[in-house]
Amino acid sequence: MHPDRRPLVAGNWKMNGLSADGLALAGEIAVRTRAAAPVIEILVCPPATLLATVVGVVAGSGVKVGGQDCHAEPKGPHTGDISAEMLVDLGCSHVIVGHSERRAGHAESDAVVRDKAKAALRAGLIPIVCVGETRAQRDTGNAAAVVERQIQGSLPEGVGSDRLVVAYEPVWAIGTGLTATAADVAAMHLHIRGVVGGTMGGGLRILYGGSVKPENAAELLALEDVDGALVGGASLNADQFWAIVSSCRWR
């Protein structure tokens, strides 16, 4: 973890949590953050139904709130969608775009992901752009090429490293209990930094997002080019999420 890149630990709650669940979880994370005052950045991304509630609960704690997706347009006839401007209006600071579950389940292309990232920037949000390969793509030796293509197609041009985050999430390690080896993660994060290149590549925060758990967080978060984590299932448990946060040491 590079000393010039402030670590970020983000919890992606996905489609989980009713009002009472979200209130309790967000409240516990807020309490712990107020008490510990960590130097790292902490973000929670609840489902849209809980955004307003969570924003209110974590107010003043230092915990930031993000959306899990946004539409490319600011408004219009897009039933069921949420614009980046609406997320800002609720008090969000970030939004996840291009998560593998959106790419696969909603057939989102790199171009669609790029347009959503542009929308986030337009509204003043920081997009967390997700990239990653499937098991078949890794087994055939195409992992680096796949991720490179996604980076080149999904990231807007001319954006400073302080306005955008990338999350590397090997698809085969999400929700499966599998985790890439530290060597695999280190190699891919270095590859991503090289693909982005220049000053942007050097300053870009790259999160790891493949089944991060308290048991593997310390090893993964200690890697030079890993600047934090995008946490899935473990973010639904305050103890597990906080253990991951506590594993993130800013050198």
- Give the C-alpha separation, 135 to 142, whole Å: 10
DSSP 164: -
The number of CA neighbours under 13 Å toward the Cβ of 210 is 23
Q: Which residues are catalytic?
A: 99, 169
- Residue 174 and residue 136 in contact, taking contact as beta carbons nearer than 8 Å: no
Number of helices (H), then strands (E), belonging to the chain: the values are 11, 8
| Distance from the Cα of residue 175 to its chain's centroid | 15
Through-space distance between the first and last CA atoms of the chain, rounded to whole angstroms: 7
- Give the C-alpha separation, 118 to 220, whole Å: 30
**Alpha-helical segments (H) within the chain:** 19-36, 51-58, 84-90, 100-105, 110-123, 135-139, 143-154, 182-196, 198-203, 214-221, 238-247
